[in-house]
Amino acid sequence: MNAIEVRGLRKTYGGHTAVAGVDLTVAEGEVFALLGPNGAGKTTTTEILEGYRRRDGGEVRVLGVDPATADRRWRADIGIVLQTATDAADLTVREMVGQFAGYYPDPRGVDEVIDLCGLTEKAGARISSLSGGQRRRVDVALGIVGRPKLLFLDEPTTGFDPEVRRQFWDLVRSLAAEGTTILLTTHYLDEAEALAGRLAVIAAGRIVAEGTPRTVGGRDRAPATVSWVDAGGQHHLNTTDPVRAVTELAARGRVSELQVRQPSLEDVYLNLIGAKA
């Protein structure tokens, strides 16, 4: 069974169409990234999948259930890390995680979750005393404490420093290794490339490309740019066969500053959303 199946999803606010016929499939155990600029329909799509927002049309199944009619048992299998930071100023980290653990039939241990999220030293600290990045880690702890089968991560590493971001990536990989399905929305393209097995780009309410980070938008087929300097000056060559180009350059004689640049995920992404701007 696929964890998420969406066909022809539509949502309109007044005269504005936010989601215009989205089709999407996420397999069980997959880490899937949904990318798109602000206002593209990314948040609306995710909120419909989470059961927070009603759709106007289309078919949606999340863990085999329509989120619009889902019960508490279904919700116990869903973990959500929202964009907004937790604000429960009078509770400590341990109290907050413990409170949420009580909502689930088979939660992880409170101290285990606190440790997984890098909050052990702050377990007894009040939420009000935490930095923005530490509060964000509390949000992640609340999202995973219930052992979700499907975890929604909405911009999860906002406010994280580089070291903590990498620790969080390791956490996501460990959850995926346990079989947790993860839907990630992020503006950090390196994060999507590091974590997602597949991704989709949404723009103007439609999916404009889907594939692996390596193949999305024809990235694997796009020409590379070979640059070098020789006696005649600096040169640039766009080619679909950079290995051959480098071999031929080596046979010519001395060249310097040789570089081969493949299109990055950011290059492809900007091209995709620019075409729909």
Nearest 5 degrees, angle CA 243-CA 249-CA 251? 105
167 pLDDT above the threshold of 80: yes
Looking at residue 277, what is its pLDDT?
47
Strands 181-185 and 198-203: unpaired
The per-residue pLDDT for range 50-72, each reduced to its tens digit, is 999 999 999 999 999 999 999 99
Alpha carbons 78 and 87: distance in angstroms, whole number: 21
Could you give the CA distance from residue 152 to residue 148 in angstroms, rounded to a whole number?
A: 10
Q: How far apart are CA 9 and CA 206, in angstroms?
A: 10
Residue 262: predicted pLDDT: 86
What mean pLDDT, rounded, does the chain reach? 91
